[in-house]
């Protein structure tokens, strides 16, 4: 959540759930209610007001920093998504947006989707990544060796190689030097662990419905089914696609090795069937950000710790559209790795 909101609204405005336990608990409680409400019940509720407040704070932040030469002046990042969306609306037909209040509501409505999609599905995926790695210390050991051998600077904390420091809120110094995104993205085992988790524990396994278009001149055919009329709801779902045994032998097993051992042609076929972010014009807009986000967190955690399961009761995936553990929890123990 902190990463997603920091990218959308700027790190000076985004949440600090890692440090603010009270706000985190308040959000989780409110979000639990939000998930069960109808659209009408959600209107003007705590979650929507929370997003409006973030939008207003991001606008103030933009106005305050617009005259600064660089965003590094105070160590905060820009509200990347908010700024781009706001600028696009300013350049669009203002009559379509209306008043300033309507503009804020329009932006908040769009960015609430980004905020929820950017934290909930990522959190679910990270939960199952850490669950599986906790059960496979052999892979965890290989992963740490890969991270330490190929990333420069490493993500070992505290680090002696980082040169640039920023003041944290409490006056302490924090590192601001990270490996290049391309270096993190290019690690084979890290990628295999993530791809296999996205396959077996996809955060949105439910059907993605589409409605066939009406046409007076041509009939519609889909995968061998012909003469489909307009107005028919059709759908595919990741849960089924990801368990095709012809593409993924032993499909119910978590096997990162399948991605490492496959030849180029086989790997391309598996990628074609992997539907973790959907596809086409309606696919997830934040897929690249999500993958980099997840890989960075995985790398940071397993450079410094191993994990073991304390309580995995209810880890089974819920039968819902966005599907986390049925008990919405996983308890792990972190074991510090000596340098």
Cα 256 from chain centroid?
A: 20
pLDDT of residue 69: 47
Check whether 94 has a pLDDT greater than 90.
no
Q: Measured between alpha carbons, how far apart are the two ends of the chain, in Å? A: 29
pLDDT of residue 278: 87
Q: Residues 244-249: contacts with CB within 8 Å, 24+ apart?
A: 244/273, 247/273, 248/199, 248/273
Q: Which carries the bigger pLDDT value, residue 74 or residue 177?
A: 177
pLDDT of residue 142: 97
**Comparing 6-20, 52-66, 126-140, 231-245, which segment has the lowest mean pLDDT?**
52-66
**Comparing 148-157, 172-181, 207-216, 297-306, which segment has the lowest mean pLDDT?**
172-181
Average pLDDT, the chain: 88
Across 85-97, average pLDDT: 76
Across 232-242, average pLDDT: 93
pLDDT confidence bin for 160, thresholds 50/70/90:
low
Q: Which carries the bigger pLDDT value, residue 96 or residue 58?
A: 58
Gap between the Cα atoms of 275 and 257, Å rounded: 19
pLDDT of residue 122: 92
Q: What percent of the chain has pLDDT over 90?
A: 59
pLDDT confidence bin for 100, thresholds 50/70/90:
low
pLDDT of residue 58: 93
6: tokens are 């920091």
pLDDT confidence bin for 210, thresholds 50/70/90:
confident
Q: Which of 319, 3, 297 is nearest to 126 (CA)?
A: 297
pLDDT confidence bin for 54, thresholds 50/70/90:
very high
Check whether 85 has a pLDDT greater than 80.
yes
Across 217-240, average pLDDT: 89
Cα 286 from chain centroid?
A: 7
pLDDT of residue 169: 46
Q: Model-level pTM?
A: 0.82
Strand partners for 235: 209
pLDDT of residue 166: 45
pLDDT of residue 280: 82
Q: Which of 112, 186, 60, 132 is nearest to 302 (CA)?
A: 132
Check whether 146 has a pLDDT greater than 90.
yes
Check whether 170 has a pLDDT greater than 90.
no
- Burial pattern 272-299, b for ≥16 Cβ within 10 A else e, equals eebbbbeeeeeebebeebbbebbbbbbb
Q: What percent of the chain has pLDDT over 70?
A: 88
pLDDT of residue 253: 97
Across 100-107, average pLDDT: 82
pLDDT of residue 171: 47
pLDDT of residue 208: 86
**Comparing 51-65, 94-108, 209-223, which segment has the lowest mean pLDDT?**
94-108
**Comparing 38-47, 59-68, 137-146, which segment has the lowest mean pLDDT?**
59-68
Across 81-106, average pLDDT: 78
């Amino acid at each position: 959540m902190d990463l997603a909101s920091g990218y959308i609204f700027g790190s000076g405005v985004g949440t600090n759930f890692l440090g603010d336990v009270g706000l985190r608990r308040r959000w989780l409680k409110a979000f639990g209610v939000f998930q069960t409400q109808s659209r009408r019940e959600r209107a003007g509720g705590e979650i929507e007001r929370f997003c409006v407040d973030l939008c207003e704070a991001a606008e103030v932040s933009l106005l305050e920093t617009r005259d600064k030469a660089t965003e590094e002046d105070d160590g905060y990042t820009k509200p990347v998504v908010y700024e781009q969306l706001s600028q696009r609306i300013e350049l669009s037909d203002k009559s379509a947006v209306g008043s300033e209040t309507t503009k804020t509501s329009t932006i908040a409505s769009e960015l609430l989707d980004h905020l929820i999609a950017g934290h909930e599905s990522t959190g679910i995926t990270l939960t199952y990544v850490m669950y599986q790695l906790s059960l496979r210390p052999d892979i965890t050991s290989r992963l740490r060796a890969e991270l330490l051998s190929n990333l420069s600077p490493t993500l070992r904390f505290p680090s002696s190689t980082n040169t640039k420091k920023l003041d944290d809120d409490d006056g302490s110094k924090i590192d601001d030097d990270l490996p290049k995104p391309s270096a993190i993205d290019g690690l084979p085992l890290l990628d295999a662990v993530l791809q296999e988790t996205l396959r077996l524990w996809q955060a949105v396994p439910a059907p993605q419905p589409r409605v066939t278009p009406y046409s007076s001149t041509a009939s519609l055919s889909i995968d061998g089914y012909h003469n489909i009329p307009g107005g028919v709801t059709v759908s595919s779902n990741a849960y089924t696609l990801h368990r095709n045994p012809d593409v993924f032998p032993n499909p119910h097993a978590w096997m990162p090795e399948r991605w490492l051992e496959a030849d180029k042609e086989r790997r391309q076929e598996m990628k074609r069937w992997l539907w973790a972010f959907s596809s086409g014009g309606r696919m997830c807009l934040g897929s690249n950000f999500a993958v980099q986000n997840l890989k960075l967190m995985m790398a940071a955690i397993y450079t410094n710790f191993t994990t073991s399961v304390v309580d995995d009761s209810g880890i089974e995936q819920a039968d819902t559209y966005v599907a986390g553990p049925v008990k919405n929890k996983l308890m792990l123990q972190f074991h510090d790795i000596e340098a």
